[in-house]
Structure 1
Amino acid sequence: MARTIAKDHDQKREQILTNAAKVFATEGFDRASMAMLARECGISKANIYHYYDSKDALLFDLLETYLRELRDRICGIEIANLAPEEKLRHVVAETLLAYQGADHEHQVQIGSMSALPEDQQKLLRGYQRDMVVFVRDIVQSIAPDVFDGQPEKLRSATMSVFGMLNWYYMWNSGAGSAAREEYATLVSNLTLGGVPKL
């Protein structure tokens, strides 16, 4: 007879992922152990194995969940009827707000994704690429003549936006919503003021 799934299965899985992100970020994926993860979660090692049969499986689920949800949140913003400049402002602000509270997940993404098999990395990079393309199309729509026939310039401008957002994550990870929105305005103003002069 198949084992039934507990009513709080999803809640416990989410708790495991949150605690695993903290352990992987602070200890490093290579040094972390299933025993360490179980201790951080306040459950037995056997219970961890009920959810994940290996540390690698846990890492993949952590990053897959984080990046998929981040992609869906950013690319799912309702901006179709907005002017290009307003689209950028909305997406920049939403990205910074989406990063809030996800410091450990972000660190694990940067430092541990390479530990996964190539096919899994390819899937995760696909989520990242979706977000980059989404922002790229907005940047291009702001000043299409500037980027006409110059894909490398468009790529550089797009990645510069992400660079500014990721800088804020690295140096102001504990910032609240108001500070993030203020910085989002700064990033948007810099981008909108600079794009036509590229």
Structure 2
Amino acid sequence: MARTRASDFEEKQHGILLGAAAVFAEQGMEKASMAQIASQLNVSKALLYHYYPSKDDLIFAIIHTHLVELEACVAAAIDDALPPEDQLRVLAKIVLEKYRGADNAHKVQLVGVATLGEPRREEIREVERQIVRHFSRVLARINPALDNAERPLLMPVTMSLFGILNWAYMWFREGGVISREDYADLAMTLVLEGIQAVR
């Protein structure tokens, strides 16, 4: 008979992913061990292995869970009735809000993908592509000339936007001179003011 899933299974999983991401972010993918992670979480290695049979499983779960949750939030906020400029600001605010408290997962994503096998890397890349497509469609509505086969600038502009958002964790501090929402507006103003000049 199949083993019944505990009622707090997802809560425990979430706690493991948060704690493991902190260890990986501090120690690095290679140095961090399952024993260190179990010790940090104050759980047995047996319990950790019950949820994640290998370190690769754990790294993949941190990155994939982080990205899938982000993509779901972005997708849910798509509203074609909104002016595209307003839509872009909404999506940027969602991304920065989902990054709140996720610096460790973000660091694991930046470094950990390369440690995984190709099938898992491709699975992660597909979620990343979905997120990028949400933004690129909005940017194409703002400036259709970006989506030009002779001079394809839509992807470079989209990835520049993600460069602005994704690296904010390096300097942004909660309670500082600017809030996440304010920074999202500021960053998208830079994009929106510049995008019309791109030819």
Regions of 4+ moved over 4 Å: none
Q: Is the 8 A contact 1:23 1:32 kept in 2?
A: yes
Kindly tell me the number of residue pairs found equivalent between the two proteins.
197
SS at match of 1:197: coil
Q: Residue 67 of structure 1 corresponds to which residue in structure 2? A: 67
Q: Is the 8 A contact 1:63 1:105 kept in 2?
A: yes
Q: CA RMSD in A?
A: 1.7
Distance 1:34 1:148 in 2: 49
Q: Residue 126 of structure 1 corresponds to which residue in structure 2? A: 126
Q: Give the C-alpha shift of residue 175 in structure 1.
A: 2.5
Q: Is the 8 A contact 2:78 2:87 kept in 1?
A: no
Distance 1:154 1:53 in 2: 41
The structure with the largest helix share of the pair is 1
Q: Residue 101 of structure 1 corresponds to which residue in structure 2? A: 101
Structure 1: which 5+ runs fail to align?
A: none
Distance 1:109 1:134 in 2: 20
Q: Residue 149 of structure 2 corresponds to which residue in structure 1? A: 149
**22-31 or 42-51, larger mean C-alpha shift:** 42-51
Normalised by the length of structure 2, the TM-score is 0.92
Normalised by the length of structure 1, the TM-score is 0.93
Q: Residue 28 of structure 1 corresponds to which residue in structure 2? A: 28
SS at match of 2:154: helix
Q: Give the C-alpha shift of residue 3 in structure 1.
A: 3.3
Distance 2:151 2:137 in 1: 11
Q: Give the C-alpha shift of residue 78 in structure 1.
A: 3.9
Q: Give the C-alpha shift of residue 147 in structure 1.
A: 4.0
Identity %: 39
Q: Is the 8 A contact 1:34 1:55 kept in 2?
A: yes
